[in-house]
């Protein structure tokens, strides 16, 4: 079955976790080289690979005399600055031995939130692939505090999957996949080979981080798989410390947990709105407005807006929420906060009289809107 599932794959994103290529002592160079060699084997078969590699902090902390996880943000930034060069050097040496080249791509959330920079990043990686160069992506931990404190490379790998329009996301973890219960607590726990859809119940099965090096547990991998699914891409979570695991994957062996892609996928623009563009505020929508958006596929008009929360300008992303503040969609607004406060609850015919001008009837156009409620998918 796996042979059929992966037979269409031409471009794959492979995410390598810190726990795979690092130990408490630092970077596991032999493991990194072994995985890099397997990736070169995939390149020999004609596949395009984008690598998202964690491990910079773990690779650099020893140079600073730090044992365990660095305790302060400056320590993490300094360790990442040292470790990133070591990781790139490790990949470069192995790839060059097989006559392949790599390129370092460091991204921040702002790079993917800004539409122009998002497209620039996509064009850069597409050009690298055209020249047979493998992009090695990581968060720019040395300068972005928020990315270290809240970010994780599982999420980044899902965003990159949509960015480069990959056919498959493989997450190399330090566990075999998703179990029906915590395998560390329950020896009888069974591996789940296939997940059709990442529901709230499935997410509840995700464990919290247990290691000393990584920033995410199974829950971050489930969320990444959910995002990739809405991009029309399946995700495979496998144990990256298993010898030649990538060879086994593409040989069709039934290992790990495979998360199926959604039946219908979001357009590229809506993927960007849903996952990359950072929301700046909330619009509180009445019941009629909610039904129009969720059930009837309509745009959001000013009449359905009952309140606002946060600040935003025209062109920013906002969360669309019910009156209790629960998000059901997000989209790009056509009016600023000041303008929205003047026209909310009003009819479209009143906009020009209230503002002295009118951009459009819709506060959030349907083409700039993505549903995020459980059970809803749209293209």
Of 28-37, 54-63, 236-245, where does mean pLDDT reach its minimum?
54-63
pLDDT score of 53 more than 60? yes
Residue 375 pLDDT grade (very low, low, confident, very high; cuts 50, 70, 90): very low
The pTM (predicted TM-score) of the whole model is 0.80
At 188-213, the pLDDT tens digits run: 888 999 999 888 888 888 754 444 34
CA separation for the pair 27, 20 (Å, rounded): 10
In the chain the domains, ranked by start, together with CATH numbers, are 2-264 (3.40.1160.10), 278-371 (2.30.130.10)
At 15-48, the pLDDT tens digits run: 998 889 988 778 888 999 999 999 999 999 999 9
β strands within the chain, DSSP E: 11-16, 22-23, 26-27, 48-53, 101-107, 133-139, 168-173, 194-195, 234-239, 257-259, 279-285, 305-310, 317-321, 327-332, 369-371
Question: Which residues have C-beta within 8 Å of that of residue 103, sequence separation ≥ 6?
Answer: 128, 133, 134, 135, 136
Give Rg (Cα) of the chain. 22
Q: Which of 153, 169, 168, 154 is CA-nearest to residue 222?
A: 154
pLDDT score of 73 more than 90? no
**Pair 60, 22: CB distance under 8 Å:** no
pLDDT of residue 149: 41
At 100-128, the pLDDT tens digits run: 999 999 988 878 888 888 889 999 999 99
pLDDT of residue 181: 80
CA separation for the pair 109, 275 (Å, rounded): 10
CA distances from 24 to 21, 213, 217 (A): 11, 8, 17
pLDDT of residue 345: 96
Residue 313 pLDDT grade (very low, low, confident, very high; cuts 50, 70, 90): very high
Residue 145 pLDDT grade (very low, low, confident, very high; cuts 50, 70, 90): low
């Amino acid at each position: 079955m796996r042979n059929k599932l992966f037979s269409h794959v031409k471009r794959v994103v492979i995410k390598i976790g810190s726990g795979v290529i690092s130990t408490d002592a630092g970077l596991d160079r032999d493991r990194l080289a072994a995985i890099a060699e397997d990736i070169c084997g995939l390149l020999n078969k004609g596949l395009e690979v984008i690598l998202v590699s964690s491990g910079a902090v773990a690779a650099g902390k020893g140079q600073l005399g730090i044992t365990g996880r660095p305790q302060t943000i400056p320590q993490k930034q300094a360790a990442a600055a040292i470790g990133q060069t070591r990781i790139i050097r490790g990949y470069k040496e192995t790839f060059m031995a097989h006559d392949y080249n790599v390129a370092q791509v460091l991204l921040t959330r702002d790079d993917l939130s800004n539409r122009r920079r998002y497209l620039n990043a996509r064009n850069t990686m597409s050009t690298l692939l055209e020249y047979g160069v493998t992009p090695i992506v990581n968060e720019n931990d040395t300068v972005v505090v928020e990315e270290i404190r809240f970010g994780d490379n599982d999420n980044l790998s899902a965003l990159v999957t949509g960015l480069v329009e990959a056919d498959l996301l493989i997450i190399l973890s330090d566990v075999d996949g998703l179990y029906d219960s915590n395998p560390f607590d329950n020896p009888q726990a069974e591996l789940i080979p296939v997940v059709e859809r990442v529901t709230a119940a499935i997410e509840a099965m995700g464990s919290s981080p247990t290691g000393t090096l990584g920033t995410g547990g199974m829950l971050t991998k489930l969320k990444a798989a959910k995002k990739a699914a809405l991009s029309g891409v399946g995700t495979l979570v496998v144990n990256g410390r298993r010898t030649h695991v990538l060879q086994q994957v593409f040989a069709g062996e039934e290992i790990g947990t495979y998360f199926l892609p959604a039946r219908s996928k979001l357009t590229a623009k809506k993927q960007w709105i849903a996952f990359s563009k950072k929301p700046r505020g909330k619009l509180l929508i009445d019941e009629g407005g909610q039904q129009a958006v969720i059930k009837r596929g309509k745009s959001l008009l000013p009449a359905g807006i009952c309140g606002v929360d946060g600040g935003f300008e025209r062109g920013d992303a906002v969360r669309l929420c019910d009156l209790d503040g629960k998000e059901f969609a997000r989209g790009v607004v056509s009016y600023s906060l000041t303008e929205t406060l003047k026209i909310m609850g009003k009819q479209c015919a009143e906009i020009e009289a209230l503002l002295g001008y009118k951009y459009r009837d819709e506060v959030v156009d349907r083409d700039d809107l993505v549903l995020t409620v459980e059970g809803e998918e749209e293209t």
